[in-house]
A and B are shown apart, each in its own frame.
Chain A
Amino acid sequence: MSQVVLQLQNIHKKFPGVHALKGVNFTLRAGEIHALLGENGAGKSTLIKVMTGVYQRDDGDILLNNQAIFPNNTGDAQALGISTVYQEVNLLPNLTVAQNIYLGREPRRFGLINWTKVNQDAAQLLKGYDLDIDVTQPLSSYSIAVQQLIAIARGVDMSAKVLILDEPTASLDADEVQTLFRIMRDLKARGIGIVFVTHFLDQVYAVTDRITILRSAQLVGEFETATLSRAELIGHMLGKELAALGEHKPQAHATSGDALLSVQAISRQATLSPTDIAVSKGEVVGLAGLLGSGRTELCRLIFGVDKKHSGNVTFHGQPVNFSSPRDAIIAGMGLCPEDRKHDGILGQLSIRENIILARQVKQGWWKFISRKEQEEIANNFVKELSVATSDIEKPIEQLSGGNQQKVILARWLAANPSLLILDEPTRGIDIGAHAEIIRLIRKLCDQGLALIVASSELEELVAFSNKVVVLRDRQKVTELTGDEINPQRIMQAIAAH
């Protein structure tokens, strides 16, 4: 086994309300390609940001060649030999390729930048990556794939010992991916340790030597790629042990037969292939699938956030065609989006205002809900969902993740929907709030509300779903009901290849 180049030991990182890394270990050896895997919110990006100095760890050690390091920003990390290339290339699109490569370390002559040398060196450097391009053109005139290679070349040229590739293949086509892999193998042969973050499992098996998996801010383990089966891998990522959520008991009252929502062949170019889904009153339909499988896209299409390119939707027995979320809300739907911070909370506004907004939209702007009624509604929901706050006038951004999520749930419940779509409702929230939200989902379903819940946590899906729709590669692959709803079956369906 080759020498360890980067070692993270017992790393902790806390944000207000979120414990994002709970004692995570990570070991990278020289001359290996090491996949860092985990679903959204598992802690991958936080771990990378800790390695690269974007965040400072709260506890734990980072050893680079057995020396403890304390990078305060990406510049520090780069100077130490840790370079990062992101999916969205973080270089300057308006500068030339050569300027980008030597930015901040331009060769000088008599104190002035030697542009001839900059351009010559850059061209020379890129030849090593099979890139024969005009380095005096602006970076933005090249494709993302080329820009990424340029970013890699820059990173490696700055005497990188560790190269972190964060979802580098997300916007590349198959050929470009192969080029990237060839270069990754080259660099590996030169003794550079490469951390490869991706959610494409095929690529993990194609190029990596070892895999580290994170789940719920914790380390699941480190594995040899060659000996870890795909099903085991997915099991580790999604969690297969049935946690203390209780056994799955199919609700007796569910599936009366008449569909509340019936979606036929809904699709959108480049986001979702034609997919069917049906939901009855009082039924919970789980959406399973890995990141990028089309779960979120399906939710957004049903709710009218994105325009569907084809397909028919029937809701309450009526054909509907939502051109905006407003139409869907008025028809009686709600959608709790996946990215709470970006799409959910209105940070500056109070808990009260965050709760009543969807109901207000449903009623129309001229029928203003009186302040007194707003307070009543907000106080009721704060009590019912036990949101931990002393004051409904507090800005929602001051709450913890779990409490924010409860407020967003309250927002939709206050609008009295007949169908509620929850996209990753338990993402990034602590265990206590997690269990409460699961209980709430069950209770709502008992009260006759229909739900669609997308989740990457298998035991969660098993705990409340009457039906599980499995998506893979942007289309539905199967639908599981009754006894078929168990983690093994779901995992097989996700992994089948």
Chain B
Amino acid sequence: MSLSSNQHLRRYLWPCAGLLVLFIINAIISPEFFHIEFKDGRFYGSLIDVLNRAAPVALLAIGMALVIATAGVDLSVGSIMAIAGAVSAYFITKGVDSLALIIGAGLVAGLIAGIINGFLVGYMSIQPIVATLILMVAGRGIAQLINEGQIVTFDHPGFAFLGTGSFLGLPFPVVLVIITFAIVQLLTRRTALGLYIEAVGANPSASRYIGLNEKAIKMSVYCVAAVCAALAGMIAAADIRGSDANNAGLWLELDAILAVVIGGASLMGGRFSILLAIIGALIIQTLTVTIILSGIPPKYNLLIKATAIILVLLLQSPLFQKQLSQLKFWKNKKEMNNA
């Protein structure tokens, strides 16, 4: 079994090493980075902030990991965040007080979006990038319609708890990520669903002969992705106590895809790891914090982020690893010749 455990570990090696390196850099730049304080019943500190800020992208990445495993992609999750935020804001401003009803409405809105995506991709065989592009564009428009073109603010302490509350000392968004992770992990790894998703991603045609319902599996992953996005959207709305259809979740679909890819997944489908996707989201967020802490002018942010991400991806690329080892090989050979 040595091979299997090796392969398994190797998948975790680079993303974890990347995160670790970033942590160390942060600790050097700012010794305060690992300092965590407990006051008023919750933890405070840079590390906690990273976790808290990474929560929306981590939620998106959980769903995106499943979608990408089926060789798909969901560009609409950012817009679904905006829709879910707008729907819950609408219910609150209309005087609905029941938290279950408000959150339920947001989640149902997400589910409907997911069904639309799943239908287009799974049952209509439209390319995922095009199918979800529709809702990426239209979704934000729908959110604007719900908000009637305004930024809708509200005051609902119960709902605000989603974004700013804490539980067992942890920010509540972080708790939500942990719960979502646990549920999705349970669903995919304690039942055969995870294996089915990987099978459909690895070879859709062979999956059909095995009796897998490719359409239904695709439908379900887009639904999970959309519901995760709705949850993230409500966290974002709760955080600012308002719904901003233009900016809520803007471009976050790209961060989510990046998080999954940094986690070592292939856009060609197949193997997925939700934990690695979350680590990917943490890397993206930590990087942002690193740039801020290091005092580099903000105008360099995007470039530095891009460079760091290219490095992580290169290190994971089998081709690059091979060429790197060949480089070593030639160097050794040269030294041998010289000696």
Q: Which residues of B contact A328 (CB under 8 A)?
A: 211
The segment out of A43-51, A82-90, A337-345, A470-478 that lies at the interface is: A337-345
The segment out of B185-193, B244-252, B290-298, B317-325 that lies at the interface is: B185-193
**Across the interface, do A326 and B213 meet the contact criterion of CB distance under 8 Å?**
yes
**Across the interface, do A360 and B209 meet the contact criterion of CB distance under 8 Å?**
no
Tell me how far the C-beta of A24 lies from the nearest C-beta in chain B, rounded to whole angstroms: 30
**Across the interface, do B190 and A368 meet the contact criterion of CB distance under 8 Å?**
yes
Q: Residue-by-residue, is A338-376 near B (CB-CB < 8 Å gives 1, otherwise 0)?
A: 000011111111100100011011100111110000000
Tell me how far the C-beta of A378 lies from the nearest C-beta in chain B, rounded to whole angstroms: 12
Most chain-A CB neighbours within 10 Å: which of B4, B198, B210? B210
Asked, given contacts A348-B271, A360-B195, A365-B193, whether A305 binds B202 with beta carbons under 8 Å apart, the answer is: no
Question: Counting CB contacts under 8 A, is B47 at the interface?
Answer: no
Closest residue to B201 on the A side, CB-wise?
A348
Question: Counting CB contacts under 8 A, is B338 at the interface?
Answer: no
Q: Which chain B residues numbered 182 to 216 have a C-beta less than 8 Å away from chain A?
A: 190-193, 195-196, 198-199, 202-203, 205-213
Question: Counting CB contacts under 8 A, is B9 at the interface?
Answer: no
Q: Which residues of B contact A394 (CB under 8 A)?
A: 3-4
Tell me how far the C-beta of B191 lies from the nearest C-beta in chain A, rounded to whole angstroms: 5
Interface residues on B, range: 20 to 34
Closest residue to A340 on the B side, CB-wise?
B206
Question: Counting CB contacts under 8 A, is B168 at the interface?
Answer: no
Q: Which residues of B contact A335 (CB under 8 A)?
A: 209
**Across the interface, do B208 and A361 meet the contact criterion of CB distance under 8 Å?**
no
Question: Counting CB contacts under 8 A, is B270 at the interface?
Answer: yes
**Across the interface, do A343 and B213 meet the contact criterion of CB distance under 8 Å?**
no
**Across the interface, do B205 and A365 meet the contact criterion of CB distance under 8 Å?**
no
Closest residue to B200 on the A side, CB-wise?
A346
Q: Which residues of A contact B190 (CB under 8 A)?
A: 368
Q: Residue-by-residue, is B96-108 near A (CB-CB < 8 Å gives 1, otherwise 0)?
A: 0000000000000
Asked, given contacts A343-B209, A348-B202, A357-B210, whether A393 binds B7 with beta carbons under 8 Å apart, the answer is: yes
Q: Which residues of A contact B212 (CB under 8 A)?
A: 326, 361
A451 CA to B198 CA in the complex, in Å? 30
A303 CA to B7 CA in the complex, in Å? 36
Question: Counting CB contacts under 8 A, is B339 at the interface?
Answer: no
Q: Residue-by-residue, is B111-151 near A (CB-CB < 8 Å gives 1, otherwise 0)?
A: 00000000000000000000000000000000000000000
A347 CA to B210 CA in the complex, in Å? 14
Asked, given contacts A365-B192, A368-B191, A393-B7, whether A357 binds B199 with beta carbons under 8 Å apart, the answer is: yes
Residues of chain B touching chain A, judged by Cβ–Cβ distance below 8 Å, are 1-4, 7, 190-193, 195-196, 198-199, 202-203, 205-213, 270-271
Given contacts A357-B210, A360-B195, 15 further A-B contacts (CB under 8 A): A325-B208, A326-B211, A326-B212, A327-B211, A337-B206, A344-B209, A349-B198, A349-B270, A361-B192, A367-B192, A368-B190, A369-B192, A391-B1, A393-B1, A393-B3
Residues of chain A touching chain B, judged by Cβ–Cβ distance below 8 Å, are 303, 305, 324-330, 335, 337, 342-350, 353, 357-358, 360-362, 365-369, 390-391, 393-394, 411
